[in-house]
A and B are shown apart, each in its own frame.
Chain A
Amino acid sequence: MDKSEKFVSTVASFVGLVAKVLPDDVVAKLAELRAAEEVPMAKAVYDCMFENMNLAVKLSRPLCQDTGVIQYFLRVGTHFPLIDELEPLLLKATEIATEKAPLRHNAVETFKEKNTGTNTGKKVPYIEYELVPNSDKLEADVYMAGGGCSLPGRAAVLMPSAGYEGIAKFVADTLVEFGVNACPPLVVGVGVGTCVASSAKLAKRASLRKVGSRNPDPLVARMEEDLENALNGIAIGPQGLSGSASVLCVNIENMARHPSALGVGVAFGCWAHRRGTIVFDADMNYTVLSHKEAAL
């Protein structure tokens, strides 16, 4: 098997795994929330979620029927051997995973409004690249962007006078108005920047950071913690049926901003946060970072 084949077959298997098994950090947080839950209806919903996770592994099936639009976030070494072919290889891997896992057909060509039936289409799978100089490795996050939790995502540019209070209000308003239907407890990714595009992009990156991690900047980390506590105080509970918590985490990513603009983006992930991280070396040997004991 040459490097390309090895890469494609490993990514295809990994995408299948991500559809069926949640990453360790998400499972650990769900277990923590389940143990602390006091509302009977919410307890019953957590029980159903865990029964579902177990059944998905036992029967080797996607744990949610909405396996999303497949998205790849790559940190690719400039010396990674397959750097010039990544797009067609990831497209191939997505097609194989769709057939094998199997995944739901979630690529509808816009304007033609026709489901392609392959999970691939114009710019789908979605790929974002970050270049890593002087490296021959590739680190990739795979994310399945489901419809339910993509729906409430929002971005806006606030007047700076709205302050960080305005950012918190924007996030809390969006959560209560739209997030309740997005399968809480939710991963909440917040981006703080200048324009809608940069803020939304940061929000997405934030939503892909590990549950339980903190922004290295202590000021940002403080707001993550404070906002997380505030949102949990709303006590939306699993499925928005009321409970003891609202979110799995609040992660914030930030950048410098224009003095006249305060951009904010918020990206949500459902409780079934299907995200995986895998690293390839130059020989296409892999290490899975997100799921311990993952055999592909």
Chain B
Amino acid sequence: MKKVLTTPITSADVEDLRIGDVIYITGTVVTCRDTGHKRRVLSGIVPHTPLEGGAVFHAGPIVRKTDSGWQMVSVGPTTSMRMEKFEKEFIELTGVKVIIGKGGMGEKTVRACVENKAVHCVFPGGSAVVAAAEVEEITDAEWLDLGMPEAFWVLKVKEFGPLIVSIDTKGNNLFENNKKVFAERKEKALEELYPKLNFMKY
């Protein structure tokens, strides 16, 4: 059974999610990435779209202008770690409950997820047409002065996912856990590799 959250999302909706769980979202998702985060946190400019209980998608889409508005062409996740610097403040200022991107995020975001009952999820990277097909409509576009990738696109979505929980409300961090395992495996792999690389003469 698909676990589908509908916006506005409450603390209770995300509280029991754990890293590795797979969820989907129905309702409203907004895109916001590097410059958008910086603008929201540093400038005090507030988008008119309400974000309380919302979901923010680290993504810079390809959109096409149509006679009646905008068409979503392709919209996959971007590297979440680039937003690490501002995500904690962004969560505190906006009240978003789900942060969607790719790859892991750091200690500050983990703290914000615990304190504000929010989760970070991964949408499989590069699967941008799958994601676009789950966008029913672009209902609004703000901050177009930042250019197509950085603008604040408001998306009406249906069963948007798969979203793999990577940071949960208990402070578990899937990518940090993986990184430790990868680092151990790396040391072992290199130890075994070194004797084969004796190209230097002496």
Contact = CB atoms under 8 A, between A and B. Distances in A.
Nearest to B199: A164
A187 interface: no
Interface in B9-59: 20, 22, 59
B186 A65 contact: no
Interface string A140-169: 000000011001000000001001110111
A41 to B, nearest CB: 7
14 contacts: A41-B164, A52-B126, A62-B62, A65-B74, A104-B61, A115-B150, A151-B79, A163-B198, A164-B198, A181-B102, A226-B193, A227-B193, A234-B182, A240-B178
A238 B188 CA distance: 21
Interface of B: 20, 22, 59-62, 64, 73-76, 78-82, 102-104, 122, 124-130, 132-133, 146-150, 162, 164, 174-175, 178-179, 181-183, 185-186, 188-190, 192-194, 196-200
B164 A61 contact: no
A181 B79 contact: yes
Contacts of B194: 165, 168
| Chain A CB within 10 A, most for which of B20, B130, B133, B198 | B130
Nearest to B73: A61
Contact of A168 (B60, B150, B179, B193): B193
A64 B124 CA distance: 11
Given A102-B62, A147-B79, A59 B129 contact: yes
A239 B124 contact: yes
B138 to A, nearest CB: 14
Contact of B78 (A63, A66, A227, A272): A66
A258 to B, nearest CB: 15
A65 B76 contact: yes
Contact of A160 (B22, B78, B200): B200
Contacts of B174: 241
A223 B198 CA distance: 10
Contact of B189 (A183, A230, A242): A230
A133 to B, nearest CB: 33
A45 interface: yes
A65 B190 contact: no
Most buried by A among B22, B60, B186: B186
Contact of A240 (B75, B103, B197): B103
A29 interface: no
The 4 closest A-B pairs by CB, nearest first: A181-B103, A115-B147, A52-B127, A164-B197
A176 B179 contact: yes
Given A233-B188, A270-B125, A180 B197 contact: no
Interface of A: 41, 44-45, 48-49, 51-52, 55-56, 59, 61-67, 102-106, 108, 114-115, 117, 147-148, 151, 160, 163-165, 167-169, 172-173, 176, 180-183, 219, 222-223, 226-227, 230-231, 233-236, 238-242, 270-272
Nearest to A169: B190
Contacts of B82: 151
A64 B76 contact: yes
A176 B183 contact: yes
Contacts of A165: 190, 193-194, 197
Given A226-B193, A270-B125, A239 B150 contact: no
Contacts of B127: 48-49, 51-52, 64
B91 to A, nearest CB: 20
A181 B132 CA distance: 21
Contacts of A227: 193
Contacts of B78: 66, 147-148
Given A51-B127, A147-B79, A235 B185 contact: yes
A168 B192 CA distance: 11
A172 B164 CA distance: 26
B199 A242 contact: no
Given A59-B129, A180-B103, A234 B185 contact: yes
B128 A183 contact: no
Contacts of B164: 41, 241
Q: Which of A226, A236, A238, A240 has the most CB of B within 10 A?
A: A240
A130 B69 CA distance: 45
Contacts of B64: 102
